[in-house]
Structure 1
Amino acid sequence: MRIVVPRQPSATLPDAWRHCVGTGRLDLALRRDYQDSLALVQREIGFRYIRGHGLLSDGMGIHQPYEHGGERRVRHAFTYVDQVVDAYLEQGIAPFLELGFMPSGLASGDDTVFWWKGNITPPRDEREWADLVRAVLRHLVDRYGIDRVRDWPIEVWNEPNLTGFWSAGQDAYHRLYEVTSLAVKDVDAELRVGGPSLAPGYEDEWIQRFAEFVGRRDLPIDFVSRHAYSSGPVQPVPFGAHQTLMPASALLEQFAAPRRQLAGTGLDRLQLHITEFNSSYRPDNPVHDTAFHAAYLAPVLVNGGDLADSFSYWTFSDVFEEVGIPTSPFHGGFGLLTHRQIKKPTYHLYAFMAEMGDRVLARGEDHLVTRHDDGRVTVLAWAPADPAGGTPVSGHTVRLSLPAGPPDARGTAYLRRRSVSEDSGNAWAAWCEMGRPLAPSGRQIDALHEAAEPARSHRSVPVTGGRSEVDVVLGRHEVTLLELTPVIDETPPWWSEDRLFGLGTGNAPTH
């Protein structure tokens, strides 16, 4: 069946998909590979905020206790913070501040998470913790200005419903939220603070108890946050992990859940930020590197903005070390980019979204059609991605009747197409064909960059009655971007393709 796409938009396309993106711990931003990757992402996609762990961990060096005159004192040092935030702002992206983990000099215990040992225990001195929070925010205000910092969301901790990220239980998190949120507002009442940054799998009661506590104590809260992942139990292998996946619709259900769970509490009317999402929650699951992954997440990017104010892909780059230093360029990392800026198929999904118009003409289970101010029509289409392990579909077709100029227009339109699939724009497949080299040579890296580029094609299509009939035939796990532009024909009257080699009328060959 051919889908007749309306001429007039039915909605504005939310850009919640580009509101924020995730990153590894913040001190990784001091590395060249990280900064080169961020520059590329910002140039071709353009996120507004970036969120990562470890702002208050030892690697950033903010909390510096010492003794003088027989007294314990603390110096708050911002050497690395300034370098990181300056680098972000230079790339047109602002921090989404996550307050964690606990500095070792303030921690009440030795429990840690990740290879780099982020401390997950409560502060042993709440007053010193509040002083730390105020010191960080006052410094940011002094350096970057109050108007700018008021736009930077401030999230209290990360996944406190998991003992692996918060060792002390829900009541202790409530107390941390109280102390922290009040400290934030001490600096400026218009700074935006929120939480509870929950990992998937929590019971409704967890977030409802949080809402009751905030209401009972009349605590400040400006947004609600949670995370979303769609993977099952881990099947470990050396230097990696495999997992089953739920359908992509499970991610959308998780996006929608907090407003349902918080109905009637008042918190359901606040902004909702999904501050992490991906398929697998493991940074070593090869599914992240595949063409399947781009097709799997396409409906999430297209539809997620109807459910949440932002949903932050975890993460923009494979410069990331939660389970240790990666041992190969493709290792199942979360990133849109590998080390050395090799683009994964999911990177192109985001880059394609960045080229869509903001006016929605049509949307379906395998396509999105938008219009730009200059009259161009853009189409994002994707093939089915079955996480149950079905055979990838080749030849899936989206049949569209697209508006191309005014209703009486005739002539032609220029159709430009870019695609990634199992067979194109797929550097992971090329790496596998190379034999999965652990340390590719310079020549191999060049070949991987080349293989990562989308397939490109173009053609002329007829326009009749202001419409072009376009059949989008998709390869295995293909995601494709089409751009349709009506042609204003400026071909000179003397042009003839027959005369290209001087053999046409009036130019007979001479001997």
Structure 2
Amino acid sequence: MRNLVPGEPSGRLSDAWRFCVGTGRFDLALRRDYQDSLALAQREIGFRYIRGHGLFSDGAGVHRPYEYGGERHVRHSFTYLDQVLDAYLELGIEPFLELGFMPSGLASGEQTVFWWRGNVTPPSSWQEWAELVRATLTHLIDRYGLDRVRRWPIEVWNEPNLEQFWQGADEAAYHRLYEITARTIKDVDASLQVGGPSISPGSDEWMPRFADFVTARDVPVDFLSRHAYTSGPAQHVPFGVYQTMAPASGLLEQFATTRRQLAGGPLADLPVHITEFNSSYRPDNPIHDTAFNAAYLAPVLAAGGDLVDSFSYWTFSDMFEEVGIPTSIFHGGFGLLTHRQIKKPTYHLYAFMARMGDQVLTRGEDHLVTRDSTGRVTVLAWAPVDVTGGPAVAGHTVRLAVPMPGDSVFMLRSSVSEELGNAWTAWSEMGRPRSPHPKQLDILREAAEPVRRHRSLPVTGGTAELDLTLDRHEVTLVELTPVADETPPWWDDRRLLGLAEGT
């Protein structure tokens, strides 16, 4: 059966899928490979904001206490902060500021998280914490201008509902941190955007209690944030994990939770940002490197904007060291890109989305169809996935009748799958070299490019008929452009080899 695509748009395609993207800790942005990777993502995808941990951790060097004249003082140093933000802005992306973790010189305890030891304890001095927040924002306004900094969302901490990220997962202590921080931010400028509580999946009751707290105490809040993942407990192996996976619909259910919980209340109309999401919450799960991950997340990118104001893929690059320095070029990292800018299948899902139009014609369980102002129609289609571990099946078919003007259209089809446009498969066939030499890197980059096919399609009765047979875990983008035929009347393909006219 062929699905007839409506001729008129049903709405606009939300750009919530590229509002923000995640990154490794703040000071990694000083590295060349990081900036090269971000430049590539910005050219081909174009995210608006970037969010990561460690703005106040020791690696960024903002909080610098010292003794002088027998008294404690603090110098707020913005040397690295300025370099990172300057690089972001030059690449056309702005910060989604996450305030954390605790500088060691201000921490009340020694509990840390990650290989790079981000401190997760409350401040030893709430006043000094407020001064740190105030000094940082004042500096940003002085350097970048108030109008620009007003556009930057400011999120208070990361996943305080987990004891790994906030000592004891102490909810009352987090509420205090949030209130002091939010009031300090608004004291700098009332139009700055502040929000939270940046909770991880599994503690959904935190959000209603956070809403009750800020409402009862009239604490400023401009947006709400949470995270979404669908993987099960980690099954550890050396330098990696395996995990079960819930259906991708579980991500959309998590996206919808905040508005469902707060419906009818005083915070019901606030923006909701999913400031981290992915299939697995682990930075060493090989699922991230696969075509499965792209096909799994395709329906999430297609529909997520109907539920939230943004959902930020965690992360744009494998330059990420939470469990240590990666030991292999492919190691299950979160990134859309490996080190050295090898594109993963999920990278192409995002690049395909970036080439779609803004007018939604139709959508289904395996496709999204859009049109842009030039009349170009784009079709994103994806093969179904089986999270129970069954074999990936080739041959899934998407059939569409697309309204198009004229007599013919030019069809360009770009595809990634288990076999096509998949550097991870090529790397596996190479024997999984941990540190590929330059020639191997070139081969992997070539293998990572989507397979592209093109042809002319007839338009009959005002429609072009598409029959898309999808490979295993394939994600494909079809671009249909009306043909304005400029072939001169003397052109004859039969005479390309100089044969006489009429032969």
TM-score class, shorter-chain normalisation, is over 0.9
What TM-score comes out, normalization by structure 2 length? 0.99
Amino acid across the alignment from 1:79: T
Percent of counterpart pairs with the same letter? 72
Structure 1 segment 76-225 matched on structure 2, within 5 A: 76-168=76-168, 169-204=170-205, 206-225=206-225
Q: Secondary structure at the match of 1:268?
A: coil
Paired position in structure 2 for 1:388: 388
Amino acid across the alignment from 1:236: H
Q: Deviations over 1:83-129 (max 9, x none)?
A: 00000000000000000000000000000000000000000100000
Amino acid across the alignment from 2:91: Q
The answer as to 2:439 corresponding to 1:438 is no
State how far apart, in whole Å, the 1-side matches of 2:176 and 2:76 are.
23
Amino acid across the alignment from 2:78: F
Q: Deviations over 1:255-301 (max 9, x none)?
A: 00011112233122100000000000000000000001000000000
Amino acid across the alignment from 1:195: G
State how far apart, in whole Å, the 1-side matches of 2:373 and 2:24 are.
37
The partner residue of 1:468 within 456, 464, 474 is 464
Paired position in structure 2 for 1:42: 42
Return the offset for 1:36. 0.1
Return the offset for 1:24. 0.3
Paired position in structure 2 for 1:68: 68
Return the offset for 1:203. 3.7
Amino acid across the alignment from 2:56: L
Q: Secondary structure at the match of 1:124?
A: coil
Aligned alpha-carbon RMSD (Å): 0.8
The partner residue of 2:477 within 475, 478, 481 is 481
Amino acid across the alignment from 2:116: W
Amino acid across the alignment from 2:312: S
Q: Deviations over 1:365-418 (max 9, x none)?
A: 00000001001100000000111112212111100001111xxx4x21111100
Q: Deviations over 1:152-196 (max 9, x none)?
A: 000000000000000041000000001100110111000000000
State how far apart, in whole Å, the 1-side matches of 2:230 and 2:12 are.
28
Give the conservation status (yes or no) of the 8 Å contact 1:20–1:313.
yes
Amino acid across the alignment from 1:504: A
Paired position in structure 2 for 1:259: 259
Give the conservation status (yes or no) of the 8 Å contact 1:498–1:504.
no
Return the offset for 1:63. 0.3
State how far apart, in whole Å, the 2-side matches of 1:267 and 1:315 are.
29
The answer as to 2:395 corresponding to 1:412 is no
Give the conservation status (yes or no) of the 8 Å contact 1:248–1:300.
yes
Q: Secondary structure at the match of 2:268?
A: helix
Amino acid across the alignment from 1:428: W
Amino acid across the alignment from 2:410: Y
State how far apart, in whole Å, the 2-side matches of 1:146 and 1:413 are.
48
State how far apart, in whole Å, the 2-side matches of 1:265 and 1:229 are.
26
State how far apart, in whole Å, the 1-side matches of 2:309 and 2:390 are.
33
The answer as to 2:5 corresponding to 1:9 is no
Return the offset for 1:441. 0.8
State how far apart, in whole Å, the 2-side matches of 1:314 and 1:322 are.
13
The answer as to 2:443 corresponding to 1:447 is yes
Paired position in structure 2 for 1:426: 422
Which stretch of the first structure deviates more once superposed, 163-172 or 258-267?
258-267
State how far apart, in whole Å, the 1-side matches of 2:254 and 2:215 are.
24
The answer as to 2:492 corresponding to 1:496 is yes
Amino acid across the alignment from 1:171: A
Return the offset for 1:494. 1.4
State how far apart, in whole Å, the 2-side matches of 1:305 and 1:504 are.
60
Return the offset for 1:216. 1.1
Paired position in structure 2 for 1:282: 282
Amino acid across the alignment from 1:292: F
State how far apart, in whole Å, the 2-side matches of 1:100 and 1:504 are.
77
Q: Secondary structure at the match of 2:427?
A: helix
Paired position in structure 2 for 1:368: 368
State how far apart, in whole Å, the 1-side matches of 2:500 and 2:244 are.
64
Amino acid across the alignment from 2:152: W
Return the offset for 1:8. 0.6
Q: Secondary structure at the match of 2:432?
A: coil
Structure 1 segment 294-309 matched on structure 2, within 5 A: 294-309=294-309
State how far apart, in whole Å, the 1-side matches of 2:388 and 2:62 are.
46
State how far apart, in whole Å, the 2-side matches of 1:179 and 1:46 are.
34
State how far apart, in whole Å, the 1-side matches of 2:262 and 2:114 are.
31
Runs of 5+ consecutive residues of structure 2 not aligned to the other structure: none
Amino acid across the alignment from 2:201: P
Runs of 5+ consecutive residues of structure 1 not aligned to the other structure: none
Which stretch of the first structure deviates more once superposed, 220-229 or 208-217?
208-217
Q: Deviations over 1:185-230 (max 9, x none)?
A: 11100000000000000142x2111111111111000000000000
Amino acid across the alignment from 1:278: N
State how far apart, in whole Å, the 1-side matches of 2:178 and 2:208 are.
15
Q: Secondary structure at the match of 1:269?
A: coil
State how far apart, in whole Å, the 2-side matches of 1:199 and 1:421 are.
31
Q: Secondary structure at the match of 1:267?
A: coil
Paired position in structure 1 for 2:358: 358
State how far apart, in whole Å, the 1-side matches of 2:476 and 2:280 are.
23
State how far apart, in whole Å, the 2-side matches of 1:144 and 1:359 are.
34
State how far apart, in whole Å, the 2-side matches of 1:265 and 1:189 are.
23
Give the conservation status (yes or no) of the 8 Å contact 1:396–1:475.
yes
State how far apart, in whole Å, the 1-side matches of 2:462 and 2:262 are.
48
